[in-house]
Amino acid sequence: MSIVPSPAPQTGRERVLADAAARGIPIEIVARTAANSIEEAAAALGIEQASIIKSLVVKRHDGTFLFALVPGDRQISWPKLRAVVGVNKLQLPTPEVALEATGYERGTITPFGSSSPWPVFADQRMAGRISMGAGERDYGAWVDADDLIRGFDATVADISD
């Protein structure tokens, strides 16, 4: 009997790139400096805060999850998101639960390569070339918002304030 070694675990970046390729979405992963805020990150990248997209994993009452994508200069609107999703209760999970649900730590979360393919809800203001988490610390992903929305069949709505 021969033993076949299991494949080496993929890095977050490798998962992101593989998922983007499978969806036909052009994406660029770049090294980035650590930032303590959206303001710092935008300044370091030389872009507007709105071009940095926060990928939030959100827990539903039934224990399932979804991704909410919100421009960096805005905050998630819980009443708006609940109305779009059609539920009474949503919450941000603990960092440990978010990691278990996506395979990514907070600050690196992205729908690309998530360990589970949760539905994606994108704020209607998300547009143009955007920067977002790349599945690993010290890296960011650049992608066209329309490509991301199309590739994930995302629900686009007003979900932020």
Bridge partner list, 31: 139
Sort strands 90-91 and 53-60 into parallel, antiparallel or unpaired.
antiparallel
144 DSSP β-pair partners: 129
Residue 132 near residue 80, CB atoms below 8 Å: no
pLDDT higher than threshold 60 for residue 6:
no
Q: Which residues pair with 139 in a beta bridge?
A: 31
Question: Percent of the chain scored above 90 by pLDDT?
Answer: 87
**Regarding beta strands 139-144 and 129-133, do their DSSP bridges make them parallel or antiparallel, or are they unpaired?**
antiparallel
**pLDDT the model gives residue 10:** 86
- Burial of 101: CB neighbours in 10 Å, binned 0-12, 13-18, 19+: buried
Residue 2 is predicted with a pLDDT of: 53
So what's the pLDDT on residue 35? 85
- Tell me the pLDDT band of 33, cut-offs 50, 70 and 90: confident
Q: What is the pLDDT of residues 101-159, one digit of tens each?
A: 999 999 899 999 999 999 999 999 999 999 999 999 999 999 999 999 999 999 999 99
Give residue 36's pLDDT: 86
CATH 3.90.960.10, domain 27-157, yes or no: yes
pLDDT value of residue 153: 98
Confidence of residue 79 (pLDDT cuts 50, 70, 90): very high
As given in the structure block, the two tokens for residue 89 are 């209760």
- Given this model, what pLDDT does residue 4 score? 55
CA distances from 14 to 32, 43, 46, 63, 142 (A): 16, 27, 26, 28, 15
Query: Is the pLDDT score of 30 beyond 90?
Result: yes
pLDDT at 8: 56
pLDDT tens track for 53-68: 999 999 999 999 999 9
Each residue's pLDDT tens digit, 38-52: 899 899 889 999 999
The dihedral sign for the CA sequence 73, 160, 57, 131: negative
CA distances from 11 to 34, 93, 115 (A): 19, 23, 12
In this predicted structure, the answer to whether residue 5 has a pLDDT above a threshold of 80 is no
